[in-house]
Amino acid sequence: METIPFLDADRARAIANEHGTPVFVYDQSTIEAQADKVLAFPHAYGYTARYAMKALPCGAVLRILHAKGIHIDASSGFEVERALRAGFPAQHIMLTAQELAPNFDALVQKGVIFNACSLHQLRVFGERFPGTELCVRINPGLGSGHSNRTNVGGPSSSFGIWHEHLGEVLEIARHYSLTIRGMHTHIGSGSDPEVWVHCAQMALDIAAKLPDAQLLSLGGGHKVGRMPGEPSADLQAIGARIVPMFKSFAKEHGRELRLELEPGTFYVANAGALLTRVMDVVDTGADGRRFIKIDGGMTEILRPSLYGAQHPMALYPGDTDARPEQDYLIAGHCCESGDILTPEPGNPEGLHPRRLPEARVGDLLVIGGAGAYCAAMSAKNYNSFPEAPEVLIGRDGAMNLVRRRQTLEQVLENEL
């Protein structure tokens, strides 16, 4: 059985008794410690650390990172509005989106930094804001990720302007008297630092062809190990490799580029857990499988169903009896064959049991590594289950409710 460092049995029981289950639990100290690591990333000529808020847009988390001096990477106009409401100034928000927001003009006029992700977006910006500045997102031609669904670079990805279209980028910029002040690239969420460094050099080579660029964002995608033994990115080691590359660029091209990064998972993945309760324990015969059924599932954590993601799990018995360990598959509460939280590593179609104490109805099951792309990315309201509440453990140990549980009335309120 794995451990969840900030959520032991006593604290889990206290939260479950007060707020019910399922409930997300976040740890402020872990978030701040991860932010410190991002802020300490080595750089040559200045540096801005952003938070890819799509990972976890909870207002309480945004305010923690704002207080640490982190800026925002927003993936939609709606995320921009949430960041503004959390206290971020518009000038600290970069909008990098697949579609132009309905209030796109108003956001730019407020001072939000726009990052054009296609030739069409660049033209629209030029038509509406000629003679101004912006950034462009470029697909350098290579990506990385543990599956195709997490790879956001290379020829199979729609994200960013394909690097071979750089001539058209410059032509559009000249036509509308635009100044391309920054370049952005992002390859995905792989764990291989060599690929990350290689793509950084590719990005620098492209930035050399943008004569007015003063900053280069190398995106995020810094791996965080959720499971025991799973590696995490060493930001100091990566940064140490990047600094000489930026210095060589400055010597060759006479431009000292400011570095930007925009991790999401790195800040919050292991700062969050989903606390659930065992609702049933079933099996499929002597030669079959044992299943623990919980009162959460893909309505809170879609990652295992979506791409076979692995999450640590701990079972806290409801009594003090000594119990033998057994192998269990964990099934979510949705009437959906894909709502299985224990897929086989590397094979989303397979199943892989977890070794846990003998489970009984009423026990608590905690799913770790649930701070990133869980509450933010779920099968919301499937089977009409309401959204789970969120609790933040502060530095002082206080357990504060930061989002209430959704009610059925709220689920239905927009129906006519």
Domain with residue 398: its CATH number is 2.40.37.10
The residue out of 214, 230, 265 marking a domain boundary is: 265
pLDDT above 70 covers a percentage of the chain that reads 94
Would 2 be classed as within a structural domain? no
Selecting among 58, 117, 334, 335, the annotated active-site residue is 335
Do 259 and 320 have their domain in common?
no
Do 182 and 325 have their domain in common?
no
Neighbouring CB atoms inside 10 A of 10's CB total: 9
Do 314 and 348 have their domain in common?
yes
Looking at residue 142, what is its pLDDT? Answer: 61
Would 3 be classed as within a structural domain? no
DSSP structure class, residue 212: T
Do 109 and 67 have their domain in common?
yes
Q: Is 412's pLDDT higher than 50?
A: yes
Neighbouring CB atoms inside 10 A of 338's CB total: 16
Note the Cα 128 to chain centre separation in Å. Answer: 31
Looking at residue 379, what is its pLDDT? Answer: 94
Do 241 and 309 have their domain in common?
no
Do 167 and 283 have their domain in common?
no
Whole-model pTM: value is 0.94
Would 86 be classed as within a structural domain? yes
Sign (positive or negative) of CA dihedral 10, 12, 18, 21? negative
Would 4 be classed as within a structural domain? no
Q: Which ranges in 94-192 belong to alpha helices (H)?
A: 104-110, 119-128, 166-175
Active site (annotated) includes residue 334: no
Query: Number of folded domains in the chain?
Result: 2
Tell me the three state secondary structure of residue 31: helix
User: Who's near 322: CB < 8 A, 6+ residues apart?
Assistant: none
- Each as own residue / partner, the long-range contacts of residues 342-345 (CB below 8 Å, 24 or more positions apart, any chain) are 342/304, 342/313, 343/304, 343/305, 343/308, 343/309, 343/310, 344/308, 345/308, 345/310
For residue range 32-61, list pLDDT tens digits in order. Answer: 999 999 999 999 999 999 999 999 999 999
- Each as own residue / partner, the long-range contacts of residues 393-397 (CB below 8 Å, 24 or more positions apart, any chain) are 393/6, 393/7, 393/11, 393/25, 393/26, 393/27, 393/28, 393/29, 394/28, 395/28, 395/29, 395/32
The angle, 0 to 180 degrees and rounded to 10, between the axes of the packed helices 59-67 and 77-85 is: 70
Would 148 be classed as within a structural domain? yes
Give the closest residue to 114 by CA, choosing from 83, 93, 86, 84: 93
The residue out of 218, 245, 265 marking a domain boundary is: 265
Contact call for residues 250 and 214 (beta carbons, < 8 A): no
Encode burial over 71-86: b for 16+ CB neighbours within 10 A, e otherwise: bbbbbbbebbebbbeb
Looking at residue 151, what is its pLDDT? Answer: 42
Which tokens is 342 given? 């224990």
Do 92 and 158 have their domain in common?
yes
Angstrom distance (rounded) from CA 27 to CA 37: 16
Angstrom distance (rounded) from CA 156 to CA 154: 6
Do 221 and 246 have their domain in common?
yes
pLDDT band at 144 (very low <50, low <70, confident <90, very high): very low
For residue range 272-304, list pLDDT tens digits in order. Answer: 999 999 999 999 998 889 999 999 999 999 999
Sign (positive or negative) of CA dihedral 59, 147, 304, 14? negative
Whichever domain contains 51, its CATH number is 3.20.20.10
Would 368 be classed as within a structural domain? yes
Do 258 and 386 have their domain in common?
no
For residue range 308-336, list pLDDT tens digits in order. Answer: 999 999 999 988 888 999 999 999 999 99
Q: Which range of residues forms the domain containing residue 52?
A: 28-265
Would 187 be classed as within a structural domain? yes
Looking at residue 145, what is its pLDDT? Answer: 46
